[in-house]
């Protein structure tokens, strides 16, 4: 199985600030994704992190609010910009390793609370 580490695991953020979440995979992966899980809700895909190019965003999510980087095949970051209380969520990184069949793994999640 792939090991996916996320930092920070938890944070309390002030309204109007930005926070960058890091996702590190223990081996090269073909696909990396970022999901959001609002309190009591299911997971919603934010974007696909593409290595060496701009991320592909889902409807309702924009690059200015959620800039994503993926400089190599094992690392990605998600920034939550100009945060408001509505951004309080768990943010999860997931990855698919090429040749691993059809198993999609997740990081431990980053709990953000905006006050």
Partner 1 sequence: AQKITQTQPGMFVQEKEAVTLDCTYDTSDPSYGLFWYKQPSSGEMIFLIYQGSYDQQNATEGRYSLNFQKARKSANLVISASQLGDSAMYFCAMTPAGSSGSARQLTFGSGTQLTVLP
User: Could you list the residues that contact partner 1 (CB under 8 A)?
Assistant: 1, 31, 33, 35, 37, 41-45, 48, 50, 56, 90, 92, 94, 96, 101-109, 111
Q: How far is the CB of 31 from partner 1 (least distance, A)?
A: 5
Nearest CB to partner 1, comparing residues 12 and 16 = 12
Q: How far is the CB of 106 from partner 1 (least distance, A)?
A: 4
> Contact 112/19 with Cβ under 8 angstroms?
yes
CA distance linking residue 63 with residue 34, whole number of Å: 13
User: What DSSP string describes 56-111?
Assistant: EEPTT--TTTS-EEEEETTEEEEEE-S--GGG-EEEEEEEE-TTS-S-EEE---EE
Nearest CB to partner 1, comparing residues 27 and 103 = 103
The pair of three-digit structure tokens given for residue 67, joined into one six-digit string: 């800039």
Nearest CB to partner 1, comparing residues 46 and 83 = 46
Q: How far is the CB of 58 from partner 1 (least distance, A)?
A: 8
């Amino acid at each position: 199985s792939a090991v996916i580490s996320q930092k920070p695991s938890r944070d309390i953020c002030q309204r109007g600030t930005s926070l960058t979440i890091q996702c590190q995979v223990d081996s090269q992966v073909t696909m990396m994704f970022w999901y959001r899980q609002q309190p009591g809700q299911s997971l919603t895909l934010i974007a696909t992190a593409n290595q060496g190019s701009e991320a592909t965003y889902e409807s309702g999510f924009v690059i200015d609010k959620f800039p994503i980087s993926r400089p190599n095949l094992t690392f990605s970051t998600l920034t939550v910009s100009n945060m408001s209380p509505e951004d309080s969520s768990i943010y999860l990184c997931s990855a698919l390793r090429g040749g691993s069949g059809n198993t999609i793994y997740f990081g431990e999640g980053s709990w953000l609370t905006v006050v």
